[in-house]
Amino acid sequence: MSTLKWKLFGIAIAFPVTVAAAGPNLGQPLSHADLAAWDINVLPDGSGLPKGSGTAAQGATIYAQKCAACHGEQGKGGISAALVGAPPMKDMSSPKTIANFWPYSTTLFDFIRRAMPFTQPRSLSDEEVYALTAYILAQNKLIGEKDEMNAQTLPKVKMPNRDGFIPRFPERM
């Protein structure tokens, strides 16, 4: 090793270089506006629900156009699951339906908005998602035919099986 390199080595030991940051810090700041198109989670307390509203009557029209091909007329089931009805839970493989199983109404809005229709997810407006949510809840007699679903009313819809769950490992939550 040359004398010059030895000197540099000595300097490096004597004066270790430190940087202000602990990590790479390569994440770029993300504004609320920039996130908007992806910010679609709806939580059980209703946070994340957008502006807008819809009714079962509005939802019936959209359902017939965009949902009935798979889920059947009036939600009675087709190549995809029935959306209406609450068959008794006889055993472990009983159908888990919206009315007999789902604990939170907000899940319905969240799932329709993120995943439906199967071949064209994210194509529905928030108004259409509210209307479809209202239609399915009304078909299941969980809300009235005229009830409007919006960010205030939807989280208040109490689902029949809300208290039907046992966390398997509560100590890990």
Partner 1 sequence: MADIAVVAGNGLLDRRAFLRASGILFTGYALSPARAEPLSEPPWSREPGTVVPPYGTPSKYEKAVVRTLSNPNGEPRNSHARTPHQQLQGMVTPSGLHFTISHAGNAEIDPAQHRLAIHGLVKRPLVFTLDSLARYPMVSRFSFVECGGNSAPLFSPEPIQASVQALHGLASCSEWTGVPLCVLLDEAGVDPKAKWVVAEGADSPHLSRSHPLGKAMDDAMVALYQNGERLMPGQGYPMRLLLPGWEGNMNVKWLRRLQLTDQPGMTYYESRTYAQILPGGKAYQFYFLQEVKSFITHPSPGLNLKGPGFYEISGIAYSGNGRIARVMVSADGGQTWAQAALQEPVLSKAFTRFRVPWQWNGGPAVLQSRAWDEGGNAQPTRAQIIAVRGQTSKPPPVLAFPSQHYNGPTSWAIDASGGVKHVYA
List the one residue out of 121, 103, 105 whose CA is nearest residue 113.
Answer: 121
Give the SS3 label for residue 172: helix
The stretch among 10-18, 23-31, 54-62, 143-151 that binds partner 1 (CB under 8 A) is 23-31
Strand partners, 149: 54
Site for partner 1 in 95-114 (CB under 8 A): 96, 101-104, 106-107, 110-111, 114
Interface residue with partner 1 among 23, 33, 51, 156 (CB under 8 A) is 23
Taking the complex as a whole, the smallest distance from the CB of residue 171 to partner 1 amounts, in Å, to 10
Number of residues this chain uses to bind partner 1 (CB under 8 A): 53
Supply 88's token pair.
């008794």
Q: Does 38 bind partner 1 (CB under 8 A)?
A: yes
DSSP bridge partners of 104:
158
Which member of 61, 121, 141, 144 binds partner 1 (CB under 8 A)? 121
Say if residues 164 and 96 touch (Cβ distance below 8 Å). no
